[in-house]
Structures are given as structure tokens and as C-alpha cells.
Amino acid sequence: MSKITQVNIQDFLKLSAKLPVLDARSEGEFAQGHLCGAINFPMLNNEERALVGTCYKQKGHEKAVMLGYELAGPKFHLMIANAYKLFPEKKILIHCFRGGLRSRILSYILHTAGFDITLLVGGYKVYRKYVLQMLETDLQLKVIGGFTGSGKTIILNELKNKQQQIIDIEALANHRGSAFGAIELPPQPTQEQFENDLANQIAKLDTSKIVWVEDESRMTGKVKTPDTFYLKMRSATVYFIDKPFDERAQHILNTYGKFDKQTLIESTLKLKKRLGDLRLREAITHLENNEMEEWIKIVLTYYDKTYLFGLEKRDGKKTIKMSEEEFLVNELQ
């Protein structure tokens, strides 16, 4: 006999590790932010939701409910058929925004079709409160620093391979953290989804152990590292990877030199205010003439000055300079 159960956010998230989560909100709400791994299963699409909202404001609750059923009702059989196809085990988790009408209706129709349903009390709104609380978690952060091209991301992944705990901000943000950081990467998440994904990573950590992160600016592309987490990064010990300029330049060329020239020009133009007209023109000319080494020297010199400015604002006693080899020997034993 199928059943409908209601649980709090902690129990819901535990169950989500082994059961599918259906988000009954519209596709627009889902795109703005959702539980990690959730599947959008909208009761009403964007346009229908807007109509119901307008009806509620103009004619009240009962009329809005009736309109909602009128719009969603003809699709009930399609929802059931889709659920049968996607979830043959017939055990699913469901939520909407507040744990209200949309999730209750979806639960009811799938329950009558033989599904065991677990509902999130309070819906996505409660999940967002959980996310904001998780972002306040006290973590033992250590930071991998170094000028652009030092291979910080490579080292971070090496730490992960050695079973160390890491949080990769750039991977979560779909951005490498510079004017060129979005090239050939998927679109960045919304700010809300970035926070959800970061909270999801934090929830998996053992907070009694060290967590490694890469030294990042407050902004990674268009998304902002939450204030509490960012301040923890800024106050943590930094292991500054000291690598020669020429080695770093070659590393950058190996990463970015393969990209389309016009794309590199467009990205370099983003640095106009910072480089100044003369240096910008020189950089663009080098790109146009395929003088990649000269181009990267101009760009890298700018980023070195920018990074050094931020590093000097840190507590000097918490900055430890070492070579990559020294770091790997000392920290990966």
C-alpha cells in the first residue's frame, strides 16, 4: 500500500542520497536555484504560474486554486506516465516552494498511481534556510596561494587524489577566476545555485579535519563567494606557491594559447580599464601577430600586481612561501 510521509529538511536530505527528488516548481524557479540532484517536475510552467499568481491577487485564493487545477488537470495523466517511466521503483521525494498546494497535488496524484511519497515540510524555502546556515559552518581552512599560472588548481586536485578534503570554488562557479576564465566552460550558475552547491559540498565535510581551498577573489566571474566563507579564507594560513615567471607564463600559454584568437582578444579587452590604453593596444597587437609569449607577459604582469595587492592585505605571519615541490613533500606525506 503506497503512502505519503512528511519529513523535515535534515531527514529529506538524508533520503535524497538514495531516492530521486522531484521539484514541483516552475522551470524558471528551478533554474534560479534547486536542491543538488533534483529533477524539475513542474505542476505549472512559467506562464501558468504567472496566470495563477495574477488570479490570486485579483480574485482571491479559491479562484486561483480552481485556475491551477484547470491548467494542471489535463496534464495529470502525462505526469503519471512520465513518473512510471522515470521511477520504476515508485519511491520519490517531492517539494515545491513552501510545501504547499503544488507539492500536495503532485503527491496526491502520484500516490493514487501507486507511488510512495515523502514530502518536504516547508519546501524549498526551508532548504534555503538550511543552505544559509551551512555556509556559516566553522571550517579549518588552509589556502593554496600563488601568482596566476602557479598551478594552484592542479595542486588542489592532487590533494583530493591523496584523500585530502577540498572545496574547488572555480569548479563550482564554472569559471577560472580571470577575464579569460569563462572560455570554453559551461554557463555559470546563478548566485543562488552557487550557494546551494557550495553548501552541499560543506555538508559532506568532516569539520574536525583540514579543508583546502584555492586563494580566490571575492568574485569568481559573476558569482560571489558568501561573505562568511570568504572571510574565513582571508584569515586562513596561505601556502604561497613560489614559481618563476617564465614557468607560469608557459603554464598559462598551455592552457589558453589553444583558444580562438578572437575570443582571447575579446577577453583581453575586458582589462582595458586596468591595463590602460597603451598596454591594451600592445597586448592586442601581440595577439593579432601571434606573438603569444609577449601577450601573456603583459597580462601576467597585470595579474601579478593585482594578486600581490590582495596578498599584502593578509596577515604576513600566516603566509608561507615555498616551492611546489616543498609543498607536495610537506603536505602530501
The span from the CA of 66 to the CA of 75, in Å, is: 15
- Number of domains the chain is built from: 2
Q: What is the pLDDT of residue 178?
A: 86
Residues 176 and 182: their CA atoms lie apart, in Å, by: 7
* Whether residues 118 and 254 fall in one domain: no
pLDDT of residue 313: 87
Residue 52 is part of a domain; what is its CATH number? 3.40.250.10
CA distances from 108 to 45, 53, 119, 238 (A): 19, 22, 11, 53
For 284-298, what is the mean pLDDT? 94
- Among the candidates 105, 132, 159, a domain finishes at 132
Of the chain, the percentage scoring pLDDT greater than 90 comes to 84
* Domain range for 8: 4-132
Same domain, residue pair 208 and 128 = no
Single out the catalytic residue among 55, 96, 131, 296: 96
CA distance 13 to 200: 10
The separation between CA 129 and the C-alpha centre of its own chain, rounded to angstroms, equals 17
- pLDDT mean across residues, the chain: 94
Q: Are 137 and 201 in contact (CB under 8 A)?
A: no
Distances (CA, A) of 165 to 58, 109, 210, 264: 53, 43, 7, 34
What single-letter amino acid sits at 316? G
Q: Are residues 88 and 212 in the same domain?
A: no
pLDDT greater than 60 at residue 81: yes
- Domain end residue (candidates: 107, 132, 157): 132
- pLDDT the model gives residue 39: 98
Q: How confident is the model at residue 332 (pLDDT cuts 50, 70, 90)?
A: low
Q: Is residue 25 within 8 Å of 18, Cβ to Cβ?
A: no
Residue 96: active-site member: yes
pTM for the predicted model, two decimal places: 0.93
pLDDT at 333: 56
Question: Tens digits of per-residue pLDDT, 225-274?
Answer: 999 999 999 999 999 999 999 999 999 999 888 889 999 999 999 999 88
CA-to-CA separations, 202 to 28, 43, 134, 138, 307, in angstroms, rounded: 26, 31, 7, 10, 26
CATH number for the domain spanning 176: value is 3.40.50
Dist CA 16 CA 19 (whole Å): 5
